[in-house]
Amino acid sequence: MADRSTGPSALAFWLEEALTGWILPVAALTALLAVAALYWSGLLPEQVTATLVSVIAPLTAALFVLRPALDPSRDRLGRLLVVATAVLAFACSAVPAVQAILPGDPLVQGDLGIEGETIAVPAGVSGRVRVLVSGKLRQGGDSAVAFSFAGPERPIEGRLERTYRTARIGRSGSARVAADHTSDFYEAVLPAGISEIRLDRLQGQLGGRLRLAVYRDWFPHSAMLLLALLVLILAGAADARLGLRGNAAIPAGMALAYGILVAMNATPAAAVGQAVGGVLLGAIVGSVAGAGADVLMRRFVQGPSRRGGKPPRDED
147 and 114 inside one domain = yes
Three-state DSSP at 141 gives coil
CA distance 210 to 159: 11
314 within some domain? no
DSSP secondary-structure letter at 267? B
**Same domain (yes/no): 84, 172:** no
Q: Domain span at residue 24?
A: 9-103+220-307
Indicate whether 2 belongs to any domain: no
In this structure, the answer to whether residues 197 and 124 fall within a common structural domain is: yes
Q: Which of 179, 201, 216 is the last residue of a domain?
A: 216
Same domain, 184 and 232: no
pLDDT of 94 higher than 90? yes
Is residue 32 within 8 A of residue 55, CB to CB? The reply is no
User: What pLDDT sits at residue 106?
Assistant: 95
97-152 pLDDT, tens digit each: 999 999 999 999 999 999 999 999 999 899 999 999 999 988 876 788 999 999 99
Is 315 within the bounds of a domain?
no
Q: How many domains does the chain have?
A: 2
In degrees, rounded to 5, the angle at the alpha carbon of residue 35 between the alpha carbons of residues 33 and 37 is 70
**H-helix segments, the chain:** 10-20, 23-40, 46-66, 76-101, 221-242, 249-265, 272-297
pTM of the model: 0.84
As a whole number of angstroms, the distance between CA 286 and CA 37 comes to 27
pLDDT level of residue 306 (50, 70, 90 thresholds): very low
208, 115: one domain: yes
Task: Calculate mean pLDDT across residues 284-290.
Answer: 95
Of 305, 278, 272, the closest CA to residue 36 belongs to: 272
User: Is residue 313, in this structure, part of any structural domain at all?
Assistant: no
Segment 35-88, tens digit of pLDDT = 989 889 989 999 999 999 999 999 999 999 998 888 888 899 999 999 999 999
Could you give the strand order of the β-sheet that contains 173-181, starting from the edge strand earlier in sequence?
Answer: 118-120, 196-203, 144-150, 156-169, 173-181
Q: How many Cβ atoms sit within 10 Å of the Cβ of residue 164? A: 10
Q: Among 216, 235, 263, which residue terminates a domain?
A: 216
In this structure, the answer to whether residues 211 and 112 fall within a common structural domain is: yes
Residue 198 lies in a domain: yes
252 and 236 share a domain? Answer: yes
Are residues 232 and 192 both part of a single domain? no
Burial class (CB in 10 A: 0-12, 13-18, 19+), 294: buried
Q: What is the pLDDT of residue 171?
A: 63
Q: For residue 225, is it within any domain?
A: yes
pLDDT per position as a tens digit, 22-35: 677 778 888 888 99
Closest alpha carbon to 278 in 28, 57, 37: 57
CA distance 108 to 159: 20
Instruction: Clarify whether residues 275 and 149 are in a common domain.
Output: no
Residue 249 falls within a domain, yes or no? yes
Q: Is residue 1 part of a domain?
A: no
| CATH code of 122's domain | 2.60.120
- pLDDT per position as a tens digit, 172-215: 666 666 678 889 999 999 999 999 999 999 998 888 899 999 99
Q: Is the dihedral of CA 149, 164, 143, 208 positive or negative?
A: negative
Q: Measure the CA–CA gap between 24 and 101, rounded to whole angstroms.
A: 26
Strand order in the sheet with 210-216: 108-112, 210-216, 127-134, 183-190
Q: Is the pLDDT of residue 265 over 80?
A: yes
Task: Provide the 3-class DSSP secondary structure of residue 188.
Answer: strand
Residues 38 and 113 in one domain: no
Which domain-ending residue is among 216, 236, 251?
216
- In this prediction, residue 160 carries a pLDDT of 93
Interatomic CA distance for residues 144 and 131, integer angstroms: 20
112 and 99 housed in the same domain: no
Same structural domain for residues 40 and 172? no
